[in-house]
Amino acid sequence: MELATVDFSRENLSLPDIKDFDCGEEPWARAAANWIKSSPPFESALKSMEKHGTTVWLHFIDLGFYRELVGFSSLGLTQRSRKQVGFIPQLAVNKLFQGKGVGAGDKHYSDLILEHLIKVAQERAKTEPAYKRLCLLVHADNRKAQCLYAKFGFTIVGKQDARALVPMVKCLLT
Ligand SMILES: CC(C)(COP(=O)(O)OP(=O)(O)OC[C@H]1O[C@@H](n2cnc3c(N)ncnc32)[C@H](O)[C@@H]1OP(=O)(O)O)[C@@H](O)C(=O)NCCC(=O)NCCS
């Protein structure tokens, strides 16, 4: 099943789906939910978009008469070892949809969302070579996210920083 994907904007902040977005109780999950809600004290999606040119998407299950927010994703550029590289600032799946997909044996929603980001990065890499390397920071205790990223070929490339964030990188085939 395809997810309906729409661009996130300041106007989306008033959507009930965003106001109630919940992806878990762990500190990294709360940080992710507050990022999309633009709730202080966390860095926010809006700030990332306005300051760094990040693109943010909302992913819905759309049944025409009814739609529900499954999760969100984001993609931009950052500086790593003095080089510009593709960067995934945040990504999250609504708690109700975590560990779930469509039908037995199918991909999970988290797989579909990460596939979307990789596809966009591959497309951008054709004109912006920085996107050939895709990196992100994941909390050292966030095993589920680490496992998801590893499944898609991301590898840990450094030690955790003072905030217990670990860098992961994937080189894209273009
Ligand atoms: C991270 C997140 C997007 C993953 O989505 P999800 O639907 O929960 O993920 P899945 O259930 O598909 O699990 C992903 C992988 O982790 C594995 N996994 C699940 N629970 C696990 C656990 N407790 N420990 C280790 N691995 C685990 C799964 O087996 C799966 O791997 P597999 O497909 O090879 O079996 C989601 O949990 C989330 O939104 N978390 C809060 C926000 C967040 O952490 N964002 C990432 C910021 S870097």
Residues 69, 60: contact at Cβ < 8 Å? yes
Separation of CA 90 and ligand 1 centre (Å): 14
- Asked if the model's pLDDT at residue 72 lies above 90, the reply is yes
* The predicted structure's pLDDT at residue 102: 76
> Could you give the number of structural domains in the chain?
1
Distance 15 CA to ligand 1 centre (A): 25
104 pLDDT more than 70: no
Task: Please check the confidence at residue 174 and state whether its pLDDT lies above 70.
Answer: no
Average pLDDT score over the chain = 93
Give the global pTM.
0.95
Chain-centre distance of CA 2, in angstroms?
Answer: 17
What residues are in contact with ligand 1 under a 6 Å CB criterion? 23-24, 28-29, 32, 91-93, 98-99, 108, 110, 136, 138, 142-145, 147-148, 151
Retrieve residue 60's tokens.
Answer: 């819905």
Q: Are 101 and 108 in contact (CB under 8 A)?
A: yes
Q: Does the pLDDT at position 103 exceed 90?
A: no
Non-local CB neighbours of 92 within 8 Å, separated by 6+ positions: 21, 23, 29, 32, 33, 36, 71, 72
Amino acid (one-letter) located at 152: F
pLDDT of amino acid 1: 66
Phi–psi pair at 44, nearest 5 degrees: -120, 160
> Of 102 and 30, which is predicted with more confidence?
30
To test the pocket of ligand 1, the residue of 56, 78, 144 to mutate (highest count of ligand atoms within 8 Å of its CB) is 144
Task: Tell which one of 147, 163, 166, 168 to mutate to probe ligand 1, the residue whose CB is within 8 A of the most ligand atoms.
Answer: 147
Whole-angstrom distance, CA of residue 114 vs CA of residue 96: 18
| Predicted local distance difference test score (pLDDT) of residue 41 | 67
| Dihedral, CA of residue 102, residue 107, residue 110 and residue 114, to nearest 10 | -130
CATH code of the domain in which 40 resides: 3.40.630.30
Q: Tell me the mean pLDDT in the region 49-75.
A: 92
In DSSP terms, 74 is beta-bridged to 56
Q: Which domain holds residue 86?
A: 4-171
Q: Give mean pLDDT, residues 36-59.
A: 90
The yes-or-no verdict on residue 63 having pLDDT over 70 is: yes
pLDDT at 40: 74
